Amino acid sequence: MSDMILYFIVQTGFVILAAPLVNGIIKKIKALSQKRTGAPVLQMYYDLFKLFKKTSVVSDVSSWIFRVTPYIVFATAVAAAMIVPVTTLIKPVWNTGDVILLVYILALGRFFMMLAALDTGSTFGGMGASREAMISALIEPSILVSLITVGLIAKSTAVFPIMTFMQTVQNPLIHPVYLMIFCALLIVIIAETSRIPVDDPSTHLELTMVHEAMLLEYSGRSLALMELAAAIKQLVFITLLVNLFLPHDQLIGIHGIAAIGISLLIYLAKVFIAALLIGIVEVNTVKLRLFSIPNLAALSFILSFIGFLQFFAFGG
Amino acid sequence: MLLVLKNIGEQNNLFLAAVMLYLIAAVFALALMKHHKLCNLVTNTICMAAALIGIAAAILRISTDTILTPVTIFESRITFLFLEIKIDQLSAFFVLCLSVLVLCVSIYSIGYNSHYYQKRNVGFFNFLYASFIMSMLMVIISGNAIFFYLSWEAMSLISYFLVIFESEHEENRRAGRLYIIMTHLGTAFLLIGFMIMFAYTQSFDMFGSSELIPEMAKNLMFICFLIGFGTKAGVIPLHIWLPYAHPAAPSNVSALMSGFMIKTAIYGLIRFVLCYLQVQQVWWGAVILCIGIVSAVLGVAYAIMEHNIKRLLAFHSVENIGIILIGLGVSFIAAAQNNDFLSGLALVAALLHTFNHALFKGGLFLGAGSLQYATHTKDIEKLGGLIHKMPVTAVMVLCFSLAISAIVPFNGFISEWLTYQALFLNINMGMAGQNILSILSIAALALSGALAAACFVKLFGISFLGLPRSDDAAQAKEVPLAMNIGMGILAALCLIIGVFPAVFVKLADQVAGSILGASVVETLQSGFMSATVPLAVSENSIAPAEILAALAVVILMVLLTLRLCFGKLKARKYGTWDCGFESINARMQYTATGFSKPIRIVLSILYRPGRKVVIEKGESDYFPKSVKYQVWTEPIFEKYLYNPVIRVLKSGSEKMICLVQTGSVHVYLLYIFISILALMFYNRVV
Amino acid sequence: MTNYLDALSVLLLVSAFILMGNKRIGSYIKTFQFQSALVALLTGIIGISSFAQDGRIDVLIICAVVIGIKVLFIPYLLKKTYAKVAYRVEKDFFLNIPILVLICCLMVVFSYFSFAETMGINTGTINNQIVNSFSVILIGLLFMISRKKAIGQIVGFLVIENGIFVTALFATHGMPFIVDMGILMDILVAVIIMGIMVFRIDEKFGSINVDNIKDLRG
């Protein structure tokens, strides 16, 4: 029982609280690389705090879908966070996490987000929803193929067993299967979290925006929830990436609360490294044309598929 | 009737009673032809009663594992020529599927048919409706191949009349022609299959053994059944009738056709290939898997390009048949490799998806009917803003859309999850071809799921959200209560199966167990809450009820926390952001064509889209008088597969006519004479 | 060590895929350089292990030569050529890129299919290193088929050579010294000749489109 409560607190509280930090780090890296001071790392927390207090403006064309969407999107992001453990040292009693479920529960949030974008009758919303529909459709096969390939080696599709299995693998990144899946998932993360080669989170130009176009009509508390949900989703994917391919829990010899604490600290360090990686990618690439994104998605799929082919030769 | 009375006390009678009731409904429909309202009410009420009996009988049959007691309903002196009803658990499962759908569609029809009052012959329509249901029921419960074939033929013919019911439109008559040609092409192949069956076993008993049939003939039979049933199921490339026939029929009939009639083909495949032929070779399964992959991806890809709501849904039937076939393919592969557990699991996935698809696709067609009822159009480009006018319909269509997109707390996800698990287990070391096929199926499933979501965001978003795009949409009213009740039951079932899948998985498992002798449920450590499939090493499980609870708890917590920390939600109503333009109107919204444009461009190899822009110049280049934008996609299969075949056939038969049809009676008699001699010769030699 | 070699072989394959997905001539050269660096790294690893095991240094020497020729000199030469001709982006393909990449995928599957049962020279069943490196050869060939500009042809040729070199390396863990050196010298000469040819073609036809060579027929 205590394990369960601990798991819930860590998975939800910790992830929700840490999620905006990742955005802050990435922004800071971008600013530093451009020789600017940039906003403080904690800026997103201030923004969220302010937005929560503000009055929302709701379009009079919109229906109940527009109003419930922020809550649904937020809830799906948190549910996804509960599926992907940040540390394998706490065994979840919550035995429902499955990579397929993870993908489809995020699809629930995305479905409503696209609907809400169409709900106001705004052209921007339609544009964002239509682009998001394309990108998500293209990226979905490679998420599932990569995760299921890892699952095949671990002989399970549930996230926790896969992660515990990965703790026993020595240096996954020199293993060809994992190397390929890692690269494929990196592209997936960039696409799923609306990062630069695919989408530009800091733009509000109709030619380029995807995710922001869908949020355009949101304001106040709803906007804050949507932003926070996006940040949580990003952290969930990063968690998946770092905990699968940079396992660390076996390094800690001890058990108990102290071990969990150390594990969480190492986890934060890994998230920092991942954020650094994403920041570097973002600084060094330009946003792709919308119709070049399929090539990126194809690359991601091919990486995961080659990873799967390597898995044969290795016998898991 | 006498037979029914004679055999009272046996379970089969319930099924016979249901058949009789449908017959009575059909008779009543004709008798009360003059009184449209009464006729409609009576026929549909009797159908509902029959459906309820069917549900009860089916559940009873599935849960009690008694020995089959066939009922002969027609005998003759020729030994093989008799009609027989035989209901095993597989038939019962499909009867359940049919009856649930019929129950809801009949309730819906009470309201829906009202727009035919005094305009069309409601009596005849209801006669066809009831006899169509009866023919489908007979296909499922038939006990020998002859009866199966006759019912199948009846089903095809009656559905043809339903397709051309609104025959004043040329396109409906064309759809009917195409349908009847394709369906008879399929039936011809079935007949060949049955002939081979009879040639070797001297009987039409489809519950019997196929040991006498040699290997090659079995392969041939499999191919015949695949083409025959594939045509009815609408697999690619035999799907071309489907997107024409389903939209042409009235919506409640399309719900039955798409929800159940195409599933009779799945029943046929399971019955004849899995049960009768006992899947001899791995390649059978592999072929079905390949067809499944292609149908799943291409079906949904074509659906996205459609703006006629019913054509869109028809293409989604192709997609879902593809998903069912993926499950079935894995089941066949595993059966050929004697892996009973996997075969059972995959069969459960396929059966459950069949059931689920009947629910949500039936519901979606009913929803399309409601839209048509309220706005008199099938074109979603003319709709918009209906969520304000038809709030109840909107909620239900949203439920079905989520279900068909396999999104979490709904039933579509459950069956797709089981399919994923079956594919996951199908990947073993050392069988490269099978593994690559399986991982490609996984990718195809993922792609089709995401594309389906995109498609239904389009459908729902364009037709229900935003501003109305035409006067019809602006003046729409909520549909009659009966229609909403019919859809409501389906929507509720979608959610219930999605949240408490274990009961239904068990139901499907008993059916699969009766066929394969291996139960998945024994290894299925399920409470009422979860569908758990423990696998070799670890516990792959999902618990949708817990997920739903978690979502609800999170939402409540968020509401509570925000309320406590930041006070009451303050919201202000204002117009949509219009960039300072100040007169935003419905024509500025994204259209369905615009919404699907990125996908049209990315997958242009499938669609070969073309476009034409005609600009009528005004005084200045910047202010043209009118701009006409036209975009179209090419039907590849019709253009590159069917049209050449038709051309060759046509030119060939024209030549044949000149050669064979001389016009002289003597020559014709000579033909008959020669063929009789040839047959006699064949009889002696073979 | 096998792990590192496996990972490198997969990276080689990926670099071939990246090359196939590219249409900028500048990136062709960069990708080739990256791929050659991987080859050099691979040679280095095998060289170190063979040095550690039986004190041979020939593989290490080859590694140095590879770095010198393939990583530094040939890309430099190509860049110089590239700077002089007007073409930056390849525009017309026989097939469009996504389809080409999918065909490459099929190539890999086909290599698996072809080599799955073949026995290796060193030990037991041939592993996926050979499959990956052989796929690189096939992809290089496909690259040459699909590209029309002369520089693309050169890069394709070099990729094929990389593939052959690595396949040989994986199969034997160090070919006889003289053979390797001979091959390396050969391609060096070939590239120089082709470089000169490109200038000549450009001068003669005002473009480096290889299709124009058809016009040379009488």
- Mind listing the pLDDT tens digit for each residue in A113-127? 999 999 988 888 999
Give yes or no for residue B6 having a pLDDT over 80.
no
Cα–Cα nearest to A217, from A79, A118, A283, A81:
A118
Q: Which amino acid is it at A62?
A: S
Averaged pLDDT, A228-256: 88
The answer, for B550 touching chain C at a CB cutoff of 8 Å, is no
**Range from A53-67, B388-402, B663-677 carrying the lowest mean pLDDT:** B663-677
Residue B528 has pLDDT above 90, yes or no: no
> Residue C216: which pLDDT band, with cuts at 50, 70 and 90?
low
**Chains in contact with B via at least 3 Cβ–Cβ pairs below 8 Å:** A, C
Note whether C97 contacts A: Cβ–Cβ < 8 A.
Answer: yes
Give the model's pLDDT for residue B71.
Answer: 80
Please give the pLDDT value at position A287.
86
Mean pLDDT of A290-299: 87
Task: Give the pLDDT score at C118.
Answer: 60
Per DSSP, the three-state class of B589 is coil
Which of the four pLDDT bands, split at 50, 70 and 90, describes residue B151?
very high
- pLDDT score of B342: 86
What is the ipTM score, two decimals?
0.95
Pairwise CA distance, residues B109 & B395, whole Å: 20
Quick check: C46 and C174 in contact, CB under 8 A?
Answer: yes
Closest CA to B330 of B274, B410, B408, B277: B274
Closest alpha carbon to B454 in B321, B550, B331, B598: B598
Is pLDDT above 80 for A250?
A: no
More confident residue, C9 or C198: C9
Does the distance separating the beta carbons of A175 and C6 come in below 8 Å?
yes
Dihedrals phi, psi of B535, to nearest 5 degrees: -115, -175
Helix (H, G, I), strand (E, B) or coil at B143: coil
Q: What percent of chain C has pLDDT over 70?
A: 84
Place of tokens 């060949």: B192
Residues 9-68 of C with CB under 8 A from A: 9-11, 13-14, 17-18, 21
> For residues B202 and B221, what is the distance between their CA atoms, to the nearest angstrom?
15
Sequence-separated (6 or more) residues with CB below 8 Å from residue C127 = A313, C6, C120
Is B460 within 8 Å of B401 (Cβ atoms)? Answer: yes
Give the model confidence (pLDDT) of A175-188 as tens digits. 888 999 999 999 99
Q: What angle do CA B568, B573, B574 make, to 5 degrees?
A: 145
Q: Cβ of B493: how many Cβ atoms within 10 Å?
A: 22
- Three-class SS state of B150: helix
Structural domain contains residue C64: yes
- Cis check: omega of the bond before A141, within 30 degrees of 0: no
Q: How many domains does chain C have?
A: 1
pLDDT one-digit tens code per residue, B105-130? 999 999 999 988 888 889 999 999 99
Using DSSP bridges, classify how beta strands A56-59 and B571-574 pair: parallel, antiparallel or unpaired.
parallel
Does the distance separating the beta carbons of A312 and C112 come in below 8 Å? yes
Give B391 to chain A, closest Cα distance, Å.
10
Q: Any idea which of A225-234, B76-85, B247-256, C11-20 has the lowest mean pLDDT?
A: B76-85
Name the helix (H) or strand (E) containing B227.
helix B215-233
Residues of chain C with pLDDT > 90: what percent?
Answer: 12
For residues B217 and A266, give the distance between their C-alpha atoms in angstroms, rounded to a whole number.
Answer: 65
Residue B314 pLDDT: 94
User: Minimum mean pLDDT among B12-26, B158-172, B519-533, B602-616: which range?
Assistant: B519-533
Q: Using 50, 70 and 90 to split pLDDT, how confident is the model at C125?
A: very low
Is residue B430 predicted with pLDDT exceeding 70? no
Give the one of C4, C13, C21 whose C-beta lies nearest to A295's C-beta: C21
**Residues 57-96 of chain A whose Cβ lies under 8 A from any Cβ of chain B:** 57-65, 67, 71-72, 74-76, 78-79, 82, 94-96
Question: Above 70 in pLDDT, residue A296?
Answer: yes
Spatial distance between the Cα atoms of B252 and B132, rounded to a whole number of angstroms: 12
The whole-angstrom distance between C111's CA and the closest CA on chain A is 11
Coil/strand/helix, residue B620: coil
Average pLDDT, chain A: 88
> What's the rounded Cα separation, in Å, for the pair B84 and B81?
10
pLDDT of the residue at C105: 87
B540 vs chain A: nearest CA distance in angstroms?
Answer: 5
Largest CA distance in chain B: 100
- What pLDDT band is residue B533 in, cutting at 50, 70 and 90? very low
Place of tokens 């309220």: B374
Share of chain B above pLDDT 90, in %: 55
Highest mean pLDDT: which of A83-87, A143-147, C63-67, C81-85? A143-147
pLDDT digits (tens, 9 = 90+) for C138-182: 999 999 888 877 778 888 888 988 898 888 888 777 667 777 777
CA distance B368 to B316: 13
Residue C89 is which amino acid?
Answer: V
More confident call, C113 vs B2: C113
> What does pLDDT average to over chain B?
88
Question: B432 touching C, CB under 8 A?
Answer: yes
**pLDDT greater at residue B135 or residue B515:** B135
Categorize the per-residue pLDDT at B186 as very low, low, confident or very high, splitting at 50, 70 and 90: very high
Task: Give chain A positions within 8 Å (CB) of B438.
Answer: none
Cβ–Cβ of B446/A308 closer than 8 Å?
no
Chain A, chain C: beta-carbon pairs less than 8 Å apart: 59
CB C217 within 8 A of CB C156: no
The secondary structure element, H or E, covering residue B574 is strand B571-574
Give the 3-state DSSP-derived string for chain A, with helices as H, strands as E and coil as C.
Answer: CHHHHHHHHHHHHHHHHHHHHHHHHHHHHHHHHCCCCCCCCCHHHHHHHHHHHCCEEEECCCCHHHHHHHHHHHHHHHHHHHHCCCCCCCCCCCCCCEHHHHHHHHHHHHHHHHHHHHHCCCHHHHHHHHHHHHHHHHHHHHHHHHHHHHHHHHCCCEHHHHHHHHHCCCCHHHCHHHHHHHHHHHHHHHHHCCCCCCCCCCCCCCCCCCHHHHHCCCCHHHHHHHHHHHHHHHHHHHHHHHHHHCCCHHHCCCCCHHHHHHHHHHHHHHHHHHHHHHHHHHHHCCCCCHHHHHHHHHHHHHHHHHHHHHHHHHCC
How far is residue A122 from each of residues B141, B186, B591, measured CA to CA in Å? 53, 48, 11
- Rounded to whole angstroms, the maximal C-alpha distance in chain A is 59
C88 within a domain of the structure (yes/no): yes
Contact in structure between B100 and B133 (CB atoms under 8 Å) = no
CB spacing of B551 vs A72 below 8 angstroms: yes
What DSSP designation does B596 have? T
Nearest C-alpha in C relative to A305: C105
Question: Could you report the per-residue pLDDT of C171-198, keeping only the tens digit for each?
Answer: 777 667 777 777 777 777 777 777 777 7
Contact criterion met (CB below 8 Å) for B323 and B353:
yes
Q: How far, in Å, CA of A222 to CA of A56, rounded?
A: 7
Instruction: Encode burial over B537-564: b for 16+ CB neighbours within 10 A, e otherwise.
Output: ebbbbbbbbbbbebbeebbeebeeebee
Give every CB contact of residue B80 below 8 A, 6+ residues apart in sequence: B146, B198, B202, B203, B204
CA distance B432 to chain C (A): 8
- Closest-CA residue to B256 (of B56, B91, B459, B104): B104
Helix (H, G, I), strand (E, B) or coil at B571: strand
pLDDT at A95: 62
CA-nearest residue of chain A to B449? A137
Q: In chain A, what residues touch B565 (CB-CB under 8 Å)?
A: 52
Contact at 8 Å (CB) between A306 and A179? no
User: CA-to-CA distance for B277 and B275, rounded, in angstroms?
Assistant: 6
* Among the partner residues B465, B552, B576, nearest to A115 by beta-carbon distance: B465
Which domain does C204 fall in, by range? Answer: 2-213
Please provide residue B5's backbone torsions phi and psi, each rounded to the nearest 5 degrees: -65, -40
**Residue C206 reports pLDDT greater than 70:** no
Query: Stretch C24-42: mean pLDDT, rounded?
Result: 91
Q: Where are the beta strands (DSSP E) in B162-233?
A: none
Tell me what the mean pLDDT of segment A75-86 comes to.
92
Tokens 């791929």 — which residue? C35
Distance from C-alpha of B404 to C-alpha of B452, rounded to nearest angstrom: 7
Contact predicate B131/B51, CB 8 Å = no
Residue B659, pLDDT score: 81
Q: Find which of A8, A56, A61 to mutate to test the B interface (most B CBs within 10 Å of its CB).
A: A61
Shortest distance between the Cα of A33 and any Cα of chain B, in A, equals 34
B535 confidence band (pLDDT: 50, 70, 90): very low
* Full DSSP string of B278-331: ----HHHHHHHHHHHHHHHHHHHHHHHH--BHHHHHHHHHHHHHHHHHHHHHHH
For residue B567, pLDDT over 90 is answered with no
DSSP C154-213: HHHHHHHHHHHHHHHHHHHSS--HHHHHHHHHHHHHHHHHHHHHHHHHHHHHSS-BGGGG
Binned at pLDDT 50, 70 and 90, residue C119 comes out as: low
Which three-class secondary structure state does DSSP give residue B567?
Answer: coil
Locus of tokens 């001297």: B202
Among C135, C134, C155, C131, smallest CA distance to C143 is for C155
Identify whether C86 is part of a domain.
Answer: yes
Residues of C whose CB is below 8 A from A310: 6, 10, 128
Please state, in angstroms and as integers, the Cα–Cα distance from residue B439 to each residue in A141, B266, B291, B330, C147, following that order: 10, 23, 15, 12, 31
List chain C residues with CB under 8 Å of B605. Answer: 99
Residue C218 lies in a domain: no
Does the pLDDT value for residue B320 go beyond 80? yes
Domain ranges of chain B: 1-190+237-261, 279-540, 590-632, 639-685
- Is this model's pTM higher than 0.80 or not? yes
Domain segments of chain A as ranges = 2-314
Name every chain B residue with its beta carbon within 8 A of the beta carbon of C112. Answer: 432
Across the strands, what pairs with B541?
A: B532
Burial class (CB in 10 A: 0-12, 13-18, 19+), B79: exposed
CB pair distance less than 8 Å for C116 and B605: no
Helix (H, G, I), strand (E, B), or coil: what is residue B414? helix
